A and B are shown apart, each in its own frame.
Chain A
């Protein structure tokens, strides 16, 4: 399967702990996006990378959140000192820049529960 993959699929943690999620995009895609989705809402943009460069960050991305894409392939999203309000589905998507179109393909998501 050559779709977007995310790991882990589920994460339960205690408030105050740090967590890290991984996203592997579709192999030829050079843009990678992180979104957050809470119950009953659509996904909300967090940040995106073009190759290894982080080009935009939403104000939703507090200083406890950091994302990296060190070699322009996979990406990690780390949340430090988790809070209960961080509980959500974290979605990764990828797209190919050199087309005229912005077709973003999503992974299955990581469901985070902060106790």
Chain B
């Protein structure tokens, strides 16, 4: 099936640093969403993007919907310890009738 590519699998940063994560696909997506998941919990929606080129912020988070509609990035500025978790990108394919396709996630560690 369709896949979203997230790499690297893990990222390690120092508290206060900025971090950027990419999500790419060989297919065009209509919608991109970014979720954060803590161990043993469900994913929590961070940001949703609906138009190519759209740049959206939510506090220290900024995400962009790539102009080609095949990629998106998420930026976290001034990281804090509670940013630790797994970050997933998810997309909706044209005509997919609302189901989401997820990447494998990036595990973020923040050193105090």
Contact = CB atoms under 8 A, between A and B. Distances in A.
Contact of B42 (A45, A91, A103): A91
A105 B90 CA distance: 12
Interface in B1-57: 4, 31, 33, 35, 40-45, 48, 50
Interface string B89-108: 01010000111111111000
| Chain B interface category by residue count | 20 to 34
Contacts of B92: 102
Contact of B100 (A4, A6, A102, A108): A102
B65 interface: no
10 contacts: A42-B90, A42-B103, A44-B102, A101-B50, A102-B100, A103-B33, A104-B45, A104-B100, A106-B35, A106-B44
Interface of B: 4, 31, 33, 35, 40-45, 48, 50, 88, 90, 92, 97-105
